[in-house]
Amino acid sequence: MDPLKIIKVGGNIIDNPEALDRFLEQFAKVQGPKILVHGGGKLATKLAEDMQVPVNMIEGRRITDAVTLDIITMIYAGKINKNIVAKLQANHCNAIGFTGADGNVICSVKRPVKTIDYGFVGDIVKVNPEVPDVLLQNGVTPVFCAITHDNNGQLLNTNADTIASALAVGLSKYYATELIYVFEKNGVLMSVDDEDSVIENINTESYEKLIKDGVIADGMLPKLTNCFDALKAGVSKVIIGNASVISNKNQKYTTLKL
């Protein structure tokens, strides 16, 4: 059986219609079972600004009050998700759009207040893989946006990287799962100013050294911590690279293994 590829697309690809079209055309050609996970933060920010709703970010993380939750639900679960599903259908990839609430696939709890109140932000506590497994067995591709629920009727804004990781772990009981993060960079870079300085292989030992040397820091640090947590929980491989990584045409990308 082919491995299950769980592909998270983000960065400037979601914000650029032409880049998104090219990516979805490539994604539709990926053989074997697959799941797509997406965010859409910049488009949500633009709509909030157009509606004159204040955008509050702390260390790159969105404070999600009730009005902001309405906006991101409209953008993530509505405009972006359904646009992606329609474009996949046009590329002969049968897809269904999901939030975590659909099929009760991803359950979260509202993030507890410590020093910062993030509002309606969810931390994942459970993945129910049965529904996506049935779809995958029947040749249907689930497309998940960055919204989950708490089983008490409340939707929650949830990090798309974390959703992809949680799905990969949850479905690893049925499949060999590969987690692929696609964004505008060629991979994890030794130097942020040099696009060709891709670190092609990272394991637990080299990861610790890269953190110590300050190569992995800022936003890349939680992303890679998430990746290694997924590997320890049963995911077979994690890949980070640009859109061409899914078509096997990329010269360089980053592979993470234990």
CB 187 within 8 A of CB 243: no
Strands (E), the chain: 4-9, 34-38, 57-58, 61-62, 95-98, 106-110, 122-127, 141-144, 147-149, 155-157, 177-182, 201-202, 237-241, 254-256
223 is a catalytic site residue: yes
Closest CA to 67 of 85, 54, 76, 82: 54
Closest CA to 144 of 175, 118, 172, 168: 168
Whole-number Å distance between alpha carbons of 250 and 199: 14
161 is a catalytic site residue: yes
Closest CA to 170 of 142, 151, 139: 142
Catalytic member of 5, 8, 185, 237: 8
11 is a catalytic site residue: yes
41 is a catalytic site residue: yes
Whole-number Å distance between alpha carbons of 119 and 61: 11
Instruction: Copy the structure tokens of residue 21.
Output: 């079209």
Cα torsion 233, 110, 39, 131: sign = positive
133 is a catalytic site residue: no
Orientation of helix 130-137 relative to helix 160-171, angle to 10°:
70
Catalytic member of 10, 11, 39, 170: 11
Residues comprising the binding site? Answer: 40-41, 62, 157
Closest CA to 218 of 245, 241, 188: 188
Whole-number Å distance between alpha carbons of 74 and 45: 12
Residues comprising the binding site for substrate? Answer: 40-41, 62, 157
Catalytic member of 41, 100, 170, 241: 41
Catalytic member of 5, 10, 87, 161: 161
Catalytic member of 5, 34, 87, 223: 223
Q: Which residues are part of the catalytic machinery? A: 8, 11, 41, 161, 223
